Chains A and B, each alone.
Chain A
């Protein structure tokens, strides 16, 4: 484990940016096709998954930050605390577990991200049904929300994978020199 405050700083700033972009993208770009197909950006989740993959050997305390951002996400966006507060740490845990089984190359990490987003959406759907936030039933959720969201997020993941890898590598090398 390598301790590096610069990498931690970049991780936290990036997490904040992706957190705000989640809301701004939903607000500015109308991510709804034909009034039926809905896409939800999960950039915060993407940032955490990538951090787990790229900062495997670094001591960044991603787990603790995931609780912080989970709380902020619930409080600022949803208004009910207890949903993303546990989903984001669960994703960090799940991704770490999957990394023991799979080697994180580009395509295999897309598969990891695919599983993560499916877990996020399913759990948040169940909890939202429980707290009466969501009122759509199971099959419309699968057809009109889950699939478009998966496609949208995986596209963004595929686009952002190499730039973010470069970003981390850039600061890693600088530190070694």
Chain B
């Protein structure tokens, strides 16, 4: 052991530790404060993302084949169920169109062209996912060139999944809402019961059950399980009305405030193939 930690080796080890901590600190700072990473990093990421198609495309082909075979077995049952839903859907769609039309006219009368609920959409495919136990990040195949900016909200058809944290030329990184990073910005969400609105923030995931935790609530309104939770549009970046999930349980602390509300996310965070990046109309 005495030989292993010779003076030269010890010096190198200490030097490496210092450089490593310095680099980590520096890149965390850049990631938090700048909209895009350094040029070298961005260039490297773009090249890697482009080359990754060699592996990604065939693997996705195989996985899609397996998935579609599995789906085939469920088709009959699903078809029966879907037929019933279609009738309902048409009625809702027609009503929705009428309401949207009315809404537009009313907005014009009020000179309100941009509201919290209007947004643009960019579709993207998920290329890869960070191989890590605690970092829940996706890498998608659209970037700066397609108009993606940092902090935009990311949804799948069922609901909110995360936000953009790093933008390169032709790819970007998405941080899922289940990521527990205490440093990242939180989503402002709201839910309502009997006409009363409760605002709060998504503060992370409970590690045991995989449910989202909604904190920073300020009202005493009691909430029912199953109430829908949507983004509130407060904070200015995320549009209003993106579906997050429904309330699973809420626990009160001793002062009577609902201290923690657990939300069952609508989207399955472990199976995301295609996402939509949502930006506010400007």
CB contacts (< 8 Å) of B48 on chain A: these are 72, 75-76
Task: Report whether B133 and A38 are in contact in the complex, using a CB–CB cutoff of 8 Å.
Answer: yes
CB contacts (< 8 Å) of A132 on chain B: these are 28, 181-183
Q: Interface size of B by Cβ–Cβ distance < 8 Å?
A: 53
CB contacts (< 8 Å) of A149 on chain B: these are 133
Number of A-B contacts (CB under 8 A): 141
From B24, B207, B208, A80 is in contact (CB under 8 Å) with: B24
Task: Report whether B207 and A22 are in contact in the complex, using a CB–CB cutoff of 8 Å.
Answer: no
B59 interfacial contact with A, CB 8 Å:
yes
Interface residues on chain A, size class:
35 or more
From B19, B41, B54, B270, A30 is in contact (CB under 8 Å) with: B270
Task: Report whether A79 and B54 are in contact in the complex, using a CB–CB cutoff of 8 Å.
Answer: no
Report the minimum CB–CB distance from B42 to chain A (whole Å).
9
A25 interfacial contact with B, CB 8 Å:
yes
Bound form: Cα–Cα A136–B68 in Å: 36
Task: Report whether B27 and A81 are in contact in the complex, using a CB–CB cutoff of 8 Å.
Answer: yes
From B31, B207, B209, B210, A140 is in contact (CB under 8 Å) with: B207
Task: Report whether A26 and B129 are in contact in the complex, using a CB–CB cutoff of 8 Å.
Answer: yes
- Residue with the greatest number of chain B CB neighbours at <10 A, chosen from A27, A71, A135, A136: A27
> Which of the segments A3-11, A13-21, A108-116, A166-174 contacts the partner chain?
A13-21
CB contacts (< 8 Å) of B103 on chain A: these are none
User: A: which residues have CB within 8 A of B?
Assistant: 16-17, 20-30, 32, 35-36, 38, 40-42, 71-72, 75-83, 85-86, 124, 127-128, 130-136, 140-141, 145, 149
